[in-house]
Amino acid sequence: MDARGVLDILDLTLLDHEASYADLEMLCERANEHRPAAVCVFSEHVELVRGLLDEGISVAAVAGGFPVGWNDASSIQESVETAVRHGADEIDCVLEPRDSDDFPGERDLALLKAMRDASAGRRLKVIIETPLLGEHDIRAVTRMVLASGADFVKSCTGMRGACSDEDARLLSFEVKRHSVTMGEERGVKLSGGIRTMEDVERLVGIVDSNEAGIHGRSRLRIGASSLLDDILG
């Protein structure tokens, strides 16, 4: 995969509640120059970033708690709705893992429903925090996320562990399974500790070996804050 191919699926990320106007302006200047798939910021920065970005670059808002996801459906819904009102094209939202025998269960499905309803047709990426989960739970949560109508299942925030090769394998397999069984094409977003082109090539290769149809910005994203520096050399 060449540099342009990676940029086409990159969510260029700046998640800092204390980010200054200058920080956000620089982020958008780089995005306008190199044209990633999206710029990913906290909800409170969406309106500013939307005004600084050129057309064709999506704004992805992180809403509903980060890196620890909220567990109240009404609060999540309000947060996502606010991000949408401020101009978010996409929503990234954490489904917080629970150390319980009933995870994932009805309460988690209620949170997913709130995310989907509030995102109002915007692209929804649900973060499942794979570093905190075993294989069984990763598969179960991914199936629930996809069944709830989310557009993407996303590996992790990167704040509580990195995306592993096994995470990429499991998520892409479950997205393929959903496509085969339900006839619905969904996406995979890999994030957490992805810093170099070598990281991207390895992880994308794993996804491709599972399902060659998971490609392009509508089905595959890479979330990273420092990857652009490595791409540009």
- Residues annotated as catalytic (active site), given as ranges: 92, 154, 189
Contacts of 212 (CB under 8 A, 6+ apart): none
Minimal CA–CA distance to 88: which of 37, 41, 31? 41
CA distance readout (Å), 213 to 1, 42, 131, 208, 222: 15, 30, 26, 7, 16
Which amino acid, residue 48?
Answer: L
Residues 56 and 58: their CA atoms lie apart, in Å, by 6
The burial class, CB within 10 Å (0-12 / 13-18 / 19+), for 17 is exposed
Give the separation between CA 17 and CA 109, rounded to whole angstroms.
28
Distance, in Å, from the CA atom of 166 to the CA atom of 203, rounded to the nearest integer, reads 9
Residue 211: which H helix or E strand, with range? Answer: none
Q: How far apart are CA 52 and CA 85, in angstroms?
A: 17
Strand, helix or coil for residue 122 = coil
